[in-house]
Structure 1
Amino acid sequence: MPISRIAIGTPGEASQPDALKAALAEFISTLIFVFAGEGSGMAFNKLTSNGSSTPAGLVSASLAHAFALFVAVSVGANISGGHVNPAVTFGAFIGGNITLLRGILYWIAQLLGSIVACLLLKFATGGLTTSAFSLSTDVSVWNALVFEIVMTFGLVYTVYATAVDPKKGNIGIIAPIAIGFIVGANILAGGAFDGASMNPAVSFGPAVVSWTWTHHWVYWVGPLIGAAIAAIVYDTLFIGENTHEQLPTDY
């Protein structure tokens, strides 16, 4: 079971140069992602004078997030792994691929990256609102929770299949674009219902800057549950010890 490989880490780990560089990479990648994703929504609101959401707006949000995440994961992959998402980091922790202390460092960097991105957007747009995620009419918190669990499961499962699995081979080359595609597709599926966050950092920055916390817990609990399920399922069924390629043995 992957959960048996969970590691806390050492107290000095957070001050190691490679850990600090990785955290900085997560900060920058998350800033890039949130600035483009949240910014696309603000641009749509400006062009429509804060009009009602439309299918065109949903498609533009999907494309903006897919493109931006592809870039954000790519630029951070060789330094931090390109998590860009506390749920992805949590899934990696559950699978024993990152220590708790390093994961907390990533979380801090990701959340700060999102906050800074939203502050920059607010300043650059002359004070326009960085809208917090919210539920659509007739969508309950339990509906939204299921959406976030399932969508984040798909995201983290994709991360494991294309980036974490030691048997991934050449498929690892397309990991960033596959991760961007699944997020874009999930926004098309869930965006009209709860905004399709799949990423606590993406929800946190706008909530802090606009100071709007209604149903905010959904955008943490759902993604973390979905990430944990994906990590356990993929690691147990497809990575487990019996499926690893054996190392050569001298006789």
Structure 2
Amino acid sequence: MSEAETKTEVFTITEMREPALEKDNTDKKTRIFEQYVQPCLVELLGTMLFVFVGCSSVIGNVGTTGAIQPAVAHGLALAVLIMMFGQISGGHFNPAVSLCAYLCGGMELLLLVPYILAQMLGGMVGASFAKAVLPPGLYANSAGGALVVLSNDLVTVTLAEIIMTMFLTLVVCMGAINSQTQTPMAPFCIGLTVTANIFAGGMVSGACMNPARAFGPAVVANYWNHHWIYWVGPIGGALLTVTFVRFVLGDRKTRIWLK
């Protein structure tokens, strides 16, 4: 083979490799976007919509008795959002759920902190939208849809949040993470659990079960009374669920003993 022929052959091979290299780079960027960026954006958007609906339902319920409007609004919004976005991010929209999902093997550690930050930001944006569209008088009278402790017994209030969040995260883990009990009805079960908890505990603690739901309106309305309860309670409930699932209720893949 002559020198000219050799150069031509090498040039041809290089030309063939360049498109393949570009395709590999594009595939890598797409993979990173779909695995890490897109889920975080979905968590931000979903939490924003959930908190907007939640705050609006509470603000619009001022002056009426009962928890029907907030209970139905929160539950329906969450069920629909999980149905829409669950295949992208898991449909958490709740730091307590994200923590529980990670500890039960349902998500990567690398996504945990970005998810929580996205949920916090989404909560603030959603609460801001509620403030922007609702009458100022109603907004002020309802503390901007922030969670208000209705009992002087803070231990009871915290315990109520622990129990309700444990119920919610159990439904999430058993319905969506644990392979033995997974069901396509999980989004509706999760939404119904939120509705049931608000009916049961709304007059005790406000039935938050979600630090992002508490944090967003607290920032926007600058209402911080007993705000710590809405972190301690949900996180405590999530950790109880992790204990039950990892030691007792989970399948062989999820349990950490007697596999």
Q: Please state which band the TM-score falls in when normalised by the shorter chain.
A: 0.7 to 0.9
Alignment match, 1:74: 83
2-side partners of 1:208 and 1:242: how far apart? Answer: 40
5+ residue gaps, structure 1, are 1-14, 46-50, 245-251
Alignment match, 1:135: 149
Alignment match, 2:164: 151
1-side partners of 2:162 and 2:83: how far apart? Answer: 25
The question of 1:193 aligning with 2:237 is answered no
Equivalenced residues, count:
219
The question of 1:220 aligning with 2:236 is answered no
TM superposition shift of 1:239: 2.0
| Residues 95 and 232 in structure 1, CA contact (< 8 A), matched pair in contact too | no
Which of 85, 93, 115 does residue 124 from structure 2 map onto? 115
2-side partners of 1:31 and 1:86: how far apart? Answer: 13
Distance 1:242 1:16, change over 3 A: closer
The question of 1:241 aligning with 2:244 is answered no
Distance 1:157 1:67, change over 3 A: same
| Residues 83 and 187 in structure 2, CA contact (< 8 A), matched pair in contact too | yes
The question of 1:164 aligning with 2:177 is answered yes
| Residues 29 and 75 in structure 1, CA contact (< 8 A), matched pair in contact too | no
Percent sequence identity is 36
2-side partners of 1:21 and 1:123: how far apart? Answer: 27
| Residues 104 and 245 in structure 2, CA contact (< 8 A), matched pair in contact too | no
2-side partners of 1:116 and 1:146: how far apart? Answer: 29
2-side partners of 1:117 and 1:233: how far apart? Answer: 33
Q: How do 1:17-96 and structure 2 match up within 5 A?
A: 17=33, 18-45=35-62, 51=63, 53-55=64-66, 58-96=67-105
2-side partners of 1:105 and 1:201: how far apart? Answer: 13
Q: TM-score normalised to the size of structure 2? A: 0.80
- Note the alpha carbon deviations across 1:158-214, whole angstroms, 9 max, x for none: 001110011235xx2100000000110000010011100000000000100011111
TM superposition shift of 1:37: 1.3
| Residues 134 and 194 in structure 1, CA contact (< 8 A), matched pair in contact too | yes
TM superposition shift of 1:44: 2.0
2-side partners of 1:214 and 1:44: how far apart? Answer: 20
The question of 1:173 aligning with 2:184 is answered yes
- Note the alpha carbon deviations across 1:226-245, whole angstroms, 9 max, x for none: 0111122023212243789x
Q: For the aligned residues, what is the CA RMSD?
A: 1.8
1-side partners of 2:241 and 2:159: how far apart? Answer: 14
2-side partners of 1:88 and 1:228: how far apart? Answer: 10
Which of 203, 210, 226 does residue 214 from structure 2 map onto? 203
2-side partners of 1:125 and 1:71: how far apart? Answer: 23
TM superposition shift of 1:87: 0.5
Distance 1:238 1:64, change over 3 A: same
Amino acid at match of 1:40: S
2-side partners of 1:242 and 1:27: how far apart? Answer: 30
1-side partners of 2:152 and 2:187: how far apart? Answer: 31
Q: Which has the higher contact order (CA 8 A, sep 6+)?
A: 1
